[in-house]
């Protein structure tokens, strides 16, 4: 199968085709540009490609949907994987065309797993959850500005904007709940996830938006690796350290898991007992919180895999 490396930009898409002959193409990042790309592939007698691109949010997802509907195999990979592959080649050139060529070589060498497109409900949920996260971050910025010295007119403007953001957040949360409630699969998974003490709507909706098929992971360790809460082990001679996480994964999931871990430490007896055992072993507070984040993912994986609500006695 031919390989197509794609560098997705805001305005243009650069492509490198690894077939019998090397070929390059640049098209606008629009539906019309997607159609030009499909026509270019047909003109070159290429019926099916393994297209690979970096995960860049909506910019890459629209193209991925288009190529998938055209019958092509699509892979969306973590940009850090591409960067590490480029470093292994001692690559020094950084242009859109060079990036497309690098992604094509990565795809040919590593054969990344095919991308599974989300359902319409899952896609809508992802867009809503990501928008909510952006608005919440804007609200935090305005709250920080409110604490800074300023005249009354400035503070009035900030308070007015915060009130508007509060309304937006409330509307988004209502839309998120409505989207989940209207889909039996999402609703069932949400109810199972929230049966775990410490996990609320913000965490469950983020998990369902960023990793809707958690139950399809091979193991809880694979899920932890996806989220980026695996321990980072460093060994040199007889010295071994594993106190930090890799942080190579989904930042949004890590962020909500941190808040869920703090809540679980207060309300979940299983988590409390787990944390107490870690303290007895001399673990520091941050190490305990990270371990609790991983533990919560293990519990989430368990309830979704077994399709049974959380049971403290069983856990």
Burial class of residue 99 in the structure, from the number of CB atoms within 10 Å of its CB (0-12 exposed, 13-18 middle, 19+ buried): buried
Q: What's the confidence (pLDDT) of residue 57?
A: 65
pLDDT(232) > 70: no
For residues 51 and 24, state if they share a domain: yes
Q: Which of 19-28, 125-134, 271-280, 285-294 has the lowest mean pLDDT?
A: 19-28
Residue 195 lies in a domain: no
Residue 313 lies in a domain: no
Q: What's the confidence (pLDDT) of residue 315?
A: 55
For residues 50 and 147, state if they share a domain: no
Residue 315 lies in a domain: no
Residue the block writes with tokens 């949004």 = 252
Report the C-alpha dihedral over residues 236, 238, 244, 250, rounded to 10 degrees.
60
Residue 189 lies in a domain: no
Reported as a single tens digit per residue, the pLDDT across 147-160 is 887 788 889 999 99
- Encode 176-196 in three state secondary structure: HHHHHHCCHHHHHHHHHHCCC
User: 163 vs 22, which has greater pLDDT?
Assistant: 163
pLDDT(240) > 50: no
Q: Which of 110-114, 126-130, 159-163, 228-232 has the lowest mean pLDDT?
A: 228-232
Domain count of the chain?
3
For residues 157 and 236, state if they share a domain: no
pLDDT(184) > 80: yes
Q: What's the confidence (pLDDT) of residue 66?
A: 93
pLDDT average, residue stretch 105-114: 92
Confidence bin at 212 (pLDDT 50/70/90): confident
Residue 237 lies in a domain: yes
CA distance 13 to 64: 12
Look at the alpha carbons of 37, 9, 139, 193 in this order and tell me if their dihedral is positive or negative.
positive
- Could you tell me the CATH number of the domain that includes residue 14? 3.30.420.40
Residue 199 lies in a domain: no
Domain closes at, from 110, 138, 156: 110
Q: What's the confidence (pLDDT) of residue 196?
A: 95
**Could you tell me the residue range of the domain that residue 167 belongs to?**
120-182
Residue the block writes with tokens 């500005």 = 145
Q: What's the confidence (pLDDT) of residue 237?
A: 54
Q: What's the confidence (pLDDT) of residue 213?
A: 86
> Two tokens at 108?
């040919």
Residue 79 lies in a domain: yes
Look at the alpha carbons of 197, 203, 209, 212 in this order and tell me if their dihedral is positive or negative.
negative
Q: What is the pTM of this model?
A: 0.80
Residue 32, Cβ neighbours under 10 Å: how many? 10
Q: What's the confidence (pLDDT) of residue 223?
A: 86
For residues 220 and 299, state if they share a domain: yes
Nearest to 85 by CA among 107, 60, 53: 107
Residue 196 lies in a domain: no
Confidence bin at 59 (pLDDT 50/70/90): confident
Residue the block writes with tokens 């060079």 = 98
Let me know how long the chain is. Answer: 315
- The DSSP line for the chain is -EEEEEEE-SSEEEEEEESSSEEEEEEESSHHHHHHHHHHHHHTT---EEEEEE--THHHHHHHHHHHHTT-EEEEE-HHHHHHHHHHTT----SHHHHHHHHHHHHHHH-PPPP-PPPHHHHHHHHHHHHHHHHHHHHHHHHHHHHS---HHHHHHHHHHHHHHHHHHHHHHHHHHHHHHT-HHHHHHHHHHTTSTT--HHHHHHHHHH-TTGGGSS-HHHHHHHHT-SEEEEEETTEEEEEEE---S-HHHHHHHHHHHHHHHHH-HHHHHHHHHHHHTT--HHHHHHHHHHHHHHHHHHHHHHT----TTT-
CA distance 157 to 88: 51
Nearest to 114 by CA among 62, 57, 68: 68
CA distance 49 to 17: 9
For residues 137 and 84, state if they share a domain: no
Reported as a single tens digit per residue, the pLDDT across 120-135 is 999 999 999 999 999 9
pLDDT, averaged across the chain: 88
pLDDT(242) > 80: no
Q: Which of 13-22, 102-111, 236-245 has the lowest mean pLDDT?
A: 236-245
User: 302 vs 215, which has greater pLDDT?
Assistant: 302
pLDDT(91) > 80: no
pLDDT(83) > 80: yes
Q: What's the confidence (pLDDT) of residue 244?
A: 54
Spatial contact of 99 and 7, defined as CB atoms under 8 Å apart: yes
């Amino acid at each position: 199968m031919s390989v197509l490396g794609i560098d997705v930009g805001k305005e243009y898409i650069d492509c490198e085709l690894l077939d019998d002959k090397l070929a390059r193409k640049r098209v606008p990042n629009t539906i019309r540009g997607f159609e030009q790309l499909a026509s270019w592939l047909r003109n070159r007698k290429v019926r099916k490609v393994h297209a690979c691109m970096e995960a860049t949010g909506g910019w890459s997802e629209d193209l991925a949907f288009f190529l998938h509907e055209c019958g092509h195999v699509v892979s969306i990979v973590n940009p850090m994987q591409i960067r590490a592959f480029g470093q292994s080649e001692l690559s020094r050139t950084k242009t859109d065309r060079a990036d497309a060529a690098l992604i094509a070589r990565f795809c040919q060498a590593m054969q990344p797993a095919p991308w599974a497109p989300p359902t319409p409900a899952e896609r809508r949920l992802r867009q809503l959850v990501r928008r909510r996260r952006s608005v919440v971050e804007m609200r935090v910025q305005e709250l920080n500005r409110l604490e800074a010295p300023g005249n009354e007119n400035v503070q009035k403007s900030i308070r007015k904007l915060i009130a508007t953001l509060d309304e937006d957040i409330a509307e988004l949360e209502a839309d998120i709940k409505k989207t989940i409630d209207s889909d039996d699969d999402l609703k069932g998974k949400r109810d199972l996830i929230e049966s775990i003490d410490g996990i609320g709507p913000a965490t469950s909706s983020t998990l369902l938006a960023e990793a809707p098929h958690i139950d399809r992971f091979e193991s809880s360790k694979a899920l932890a690796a996806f989220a980026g809460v695996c321990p980072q082990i460093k060994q040199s001679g007889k010295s071994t350290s594993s106190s930090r996480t890799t942080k190579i994964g989904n930042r949004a999931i890590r962020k909500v898991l941190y808040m869920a871990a703090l809540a679980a430490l207060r309300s979940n007896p299983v988590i409390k007992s787990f944390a107490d055992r870690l303290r007895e072993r001399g673990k520091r507070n941050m190490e305990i919180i990270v371990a609790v984040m991983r533990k919560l993912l293990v519990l989430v994986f368990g309830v979704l895999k077994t399709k049974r609500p959380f049971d403290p006695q069983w856990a």
